[in-house]
């Protein structure tokens, strides 16, 4: 099929033949073929196969995904094997919480970038997963690569799920894009904040957009073109400081220097928790982007909390809980990761202050 000089150099792993039904008449080629091929093939992958000349209709190769079908068209599909992974795998230690043929759940350490990019061409989670998973990656979009469906900032630790197959990638991507509104998805983070929120629990409903430097985010008017709906629910777990005692457990004390909170995401925007907490006036301890003005608060701490806080060089934010429906079995999966050692030490120092 196709021009021999332009054929895909990958080895074919099989071929399939379909006959268009009368109900298929008038439908787009990519749409109907995606339905026929099932969950193993995303629509984008089917479109790529069409453009590569891997699909023939009535014996003639086609390259237009939008071509309209006629009843009784014969479709031949040549299935190339997945391309080799890009970038290259790297032997980077991973804390694997769970793994099966469809997905892998990891406890990401602080300092590990999720995906290669400018300034981080190697040494990322993707490099590590390509090495770890090897041939168990079936080909996301036709390439042997892990399917990243959500991300954690470089200096945020905690639970992440990554797809190993196209069907898992599709289902998990839909769940995260929907933010769990029509399915089971729960994400909870623990953060140490400067100061103490007024209420023991609450919600920050404030749209986010790009800040002036285009890397950071900020709360913006809802009508601005780049405004994205963002909702964070928070609950105060503990309050720390030299004058916390009020006689009422959990009661707010304006003198408290810090609070440990749990944040649940209703949406998943870049830097969402960090921006929303700073918007409340209580940025995450150690946050280099949204909490710099609060770093001198460490001087009000007693030792050893003062030294520990000054030496803590990242945001004190940890993805503690991730729960989702398995994309194939339908089973509810729930994973938790304890605070990493550096953040546990920081919280313990604040608690003792």
Strand 258-265 with 231-240, pairing: antiparallel
228 three-state secondary structure: strand
What DSSP string runs through 278-328? HHTT-PBTT-TTT-GGGGGGGGGSPTTHHHHHHH--S--EEEEEEEEE-TT
Cβ atoms of 273 and 280 closer than 8 Å: no
Establish whether 153 is a catalytic residue.
Answer: yes
CA dihedral 24, 29, 32, 35 (to 10 degrees): 160
Of 162, 51, 143, the residue nearest 100 (C-alpha): 162
Indicate which residue of 30, 153, 287, 289 is catalytic.
153
Cβ atoms of 170 and 273 closer than 8 Å: no
How far from the centroid of its chain's Cα atoms is residue 302's Cα? 37
Q: Taking each helix axis from N to C terminus, what angle separates 29-37 and 43-51, rounded to the nearest 10 degrees?
A: 120
CA distance 288 to 276: 15
How far from the centroid of its chain's Cα atoms is residue 180's Cα? 13
How far from the centroid of its chain's Cα atoms is residue 291's Cα? 23
Which residues are the active-site residues?
Answer: 153
């Amino acid at each position: 099929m196709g021009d021999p000089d332009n054929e895909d150099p990958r080895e074919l792993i099989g071929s399939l033949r379909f006959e268009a039904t009368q109900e298929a008449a008038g439908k787009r080629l990519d749409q109907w073929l995606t339905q026929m091929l099932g969950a193993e093939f995303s629509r984008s992958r089917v479109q790529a196969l069409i453009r590569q000349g891997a699909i023939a209709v009535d014996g003639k190769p086609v390259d237009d995904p939008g071509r309209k079908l006629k009843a009784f068209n014969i479709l031949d599909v040549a299935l190339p094997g997945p391309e080799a992974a890009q970038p290259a795998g790297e032997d980077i230690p991973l804390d694997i919480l769970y793994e099966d043929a469809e997905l892998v759940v990891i406890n990401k350490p602080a300092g590990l970038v999720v995906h290669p990019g400018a300034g981080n061409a190697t040494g990322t989670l993707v490099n590590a997963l390509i090495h770890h998973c090897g041939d168990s990656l079936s080909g996301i979009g036709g390439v042997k690569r892990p399917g990243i469906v959500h991300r954690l900032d470089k200096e945020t630790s905690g639970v992440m799920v990554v797809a190993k197959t196209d069907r898992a990638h599709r289902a998990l991507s839909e769940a995260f894009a929907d933010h769990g509104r029509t399915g089971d998805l729960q994400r909870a983070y623990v953060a140490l904040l400067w100061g103490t929120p007024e209420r023991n629990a609450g919600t920050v409903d404030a749209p986010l957009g790009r800040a002036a430097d285009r890397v950071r985010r900020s709360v913006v008017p809802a009508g601005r073109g780049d405004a994205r709906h963002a909702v964070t629910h928070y609950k105060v777990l503990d309050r720390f400081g030299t004058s916390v005692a009020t006689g009422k457990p959990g009661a707010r004390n304006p003198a408290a220097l810090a609070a440990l909170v749990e944040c649940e995401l209703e949406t998943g925007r870049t830097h969402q928790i960090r921006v929303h907490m700073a918007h409340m006036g209580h940025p995450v301890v150690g946050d280099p982007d949204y909490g710099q003005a609060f770093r001198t608060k460490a001087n009000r701490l007693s030792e050893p909390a003062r030294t520990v806080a000054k030496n803590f060089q990242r945001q004190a934010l940890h993805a503690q809980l991730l729960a989702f429906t398995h994309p194939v079995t339908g089973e509810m999966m729930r994973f938790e990761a304890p605070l990493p050692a550096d953040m546990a030490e920081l919280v313990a120092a604040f608690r003792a202050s």
